[in-house]
Structure 1
Amino acid sequence: MKKFALITGASGGIGRAAAVNLAKKGWNLYLHYHQNKTEMENLLRELNAYNLDLIPICADLTTKAGIQVLLESIFQIDAVCYISGTSHYGLFEETSEEIMDELYLLHVKAPMVIVQKLMPKLMRNHSSRVLLVSSIWGQTGASCEVAYSAAKGAQISFVKALSKEVARNGVLVNAIAPGSVRTAMLDSFTEQELIDLQEDIPLGRLADPSEIAGAITFLLSDDSSYITGQVIGVNGGWYT
């Protein structure tokens, strides 16, 4: 029987790597993106080799209309991988309410609404997965990323609470908390800042998106059938 997974943020570094991994495992994919059409087209060309059902979905998940577009595109669903996100760097006292609203809508409200509306479909399978990609800062907080840390912390609380509510329905709910990953989120860092950052990480380097995707693939596999309500840190030993 075909398995279908939704990947939000599939045109980003982690989302793309997750899509490739899951395609290799035979998952049919709903591939959400917002603005990066070129990257999505490139991803679709790469995944076509696997002869799967691939459904691209363009939607702004900070709006009700965008969430509705996504939901109306989904029929069968066995796993939700919420990877969409954006960061914000700056002093908290200088963070505007507009930025706070955007972070909340994208990181907290959107995944809650999407999972809520898809839950009846997920419960039909008795072996479904919900996975949110949170952040190390959702676990421990970061100076100059206060609003982002708060949003990511809310994701973790959502995962822990929801996992208890739907466990008897066969839906496993977990989160991954990456450390620093070589994606576009680090584009604003200088080379020296990246060097300093890596020196703080026990493994001495940034993560590759494929390493985060490996954890995602594991949590969607049968090997994770007794894991729910957990936050898996993939951070090179930076926070334990």
Structure 2
Amino acid sequence: MSRSVLVTGGNRGIGLAIARAFADAGDQVAFTYRSGEPPESLIKSGALAVRCDITDHEQVERAYKEIEEKHGPVEVLVANAGVTRDQLLLRMSEEDFSSVLETNLTGTFRVVKRATKRMLRARTGRIVLISSVVGLLGSAGQSNYAASKAGLVGFARSLARELGSRNITCNVIAPGFVDTDMTKALTDEQRANIVGQVPLGRYAQPEEIAASVRFLASEEAAYITGAVIPVDGGLGMGH
């Protein structure tokens, strides 16, 4: 059956691949984007584009009302929206630190809290949070990003305990290095150095992350909750 799916930050990279995967499977997909124009290909597939800055409570509320009017209550939420402001600790401003946590962690809190209101009534739901291997391994110059992504793990596991009795699962995907526009901007030397750290010797494709998300949202994964699934080519083994 077609479900109402929301993907935050679904206009590019990993989020776009996730939104496409659900749309291709026949679900009713809505996705948020903060700036620019939504991808035309996704709009043509029937997806609903909703402009929303998840750091703004009122924008989140308006986005949900629009989605609920057009697609019904959100049954699958993929919290993917995130930002980076990389800097070494001694050079990192309070704004650099707080703004990353405000989007990646507090913003996720906002969208998840709003979705669970309807999921609790329906006594069913799927929540998938997109973290990062950096949240498990750490990364020099990314203490703000790593802290925000590590925080998603504790957040998800707490929700898994709170919501499990209502048949709502909450899981985490921790991608490694993914072949997106962001990584394509790196130099050949930087890309080679990164690939050298990955046991499988390559970047992930966005579609590989999307496939794992779709699995966690499926009936086959109904007994999985509170899990952290690494999709990182073996980079974060043991963490």
Tell me the amino acid that sits aligned with residue 107 of structure 1. N
Q: Deviations over 1:26-82 (max 9, x none)?
A: 210111111131x4333212x14xxxxx32100111223332332322321111101
Note the C-alpha offset of 1:14: 0.9
Matched, 1:55 2:48: yes
1:71 corresponds to:
64
CA–CA distance in 2 between the matches of 1:117 and 1:218?
A: 23
CA–CA distance in 2 between the matches of 1:2 and 1:190?
A: 42
2:203 corresponds to:
206
Tell me the amino acid that sits aligned with residue 12 of structure 2. G
CA–CA distance in 2 between the matches of 1:173 and 1:130?
A: 5
2:126 corresponds to:
129
How many pairs does the alignment contain?
Answer: 233
Note the C-alpha offset of 1:236: 0.1
For structure 1, the 5+ residue unaligned runs are 49-53
Cα contact 2:11–2:32 (8 A) shared by 1: yes
Tell me the amino acid that sits aligned with residue 147 of structure 1. N
Matches within 5 A, 1:12-31: 12-31=12-31
CA–CA distance in 2 between the matches of 1:24 and 1:126?
A: 26
Tell me the amino acid that sits aligned with residue 42 of structure 1. S
- Identity among equivalent positions (%) equals 28
For structure 2, the 5+ residue unaligned runs are none
Note the C-alpha offset of 1:21: 1.0
Cα contact 2:57–2:110 (8 A) shared by 1: no
Cα contact 1:198–1:205 (8 A) shared by 2: yes
Tell me the amino acid that sits aligned with residue 174 of structure 1. N
Note the C-alpha offset of 1:185: 3.2
CA–CA distance in 2 between the matches of 1:183 and 1:105?
A: 23
CA–CA distance in 2 between the matches of 1:203 and 1:225?
A: 29
Note the C-alpha offset of 1:187: 4.9
Matched, 1:42 2:29: no
Equivalent position to 2:117, from 120, 130, 135: 120
Instruction: Give the SS at the match of 1:57.
Output: strand
For normalisation by structure 2, the TM-score amounts to 0.92
CA–CA distance in 2 between the matches of 1:74 and 1:4?
A: 9
2:194 corresponds to:
197
Note the C-alpha offset of 1:17: 0.9
Q: Which runs of 4+ in 1 moved over 6 A?
A: none
Instruction: Give the SS at the match of 2:39.
Output: helix
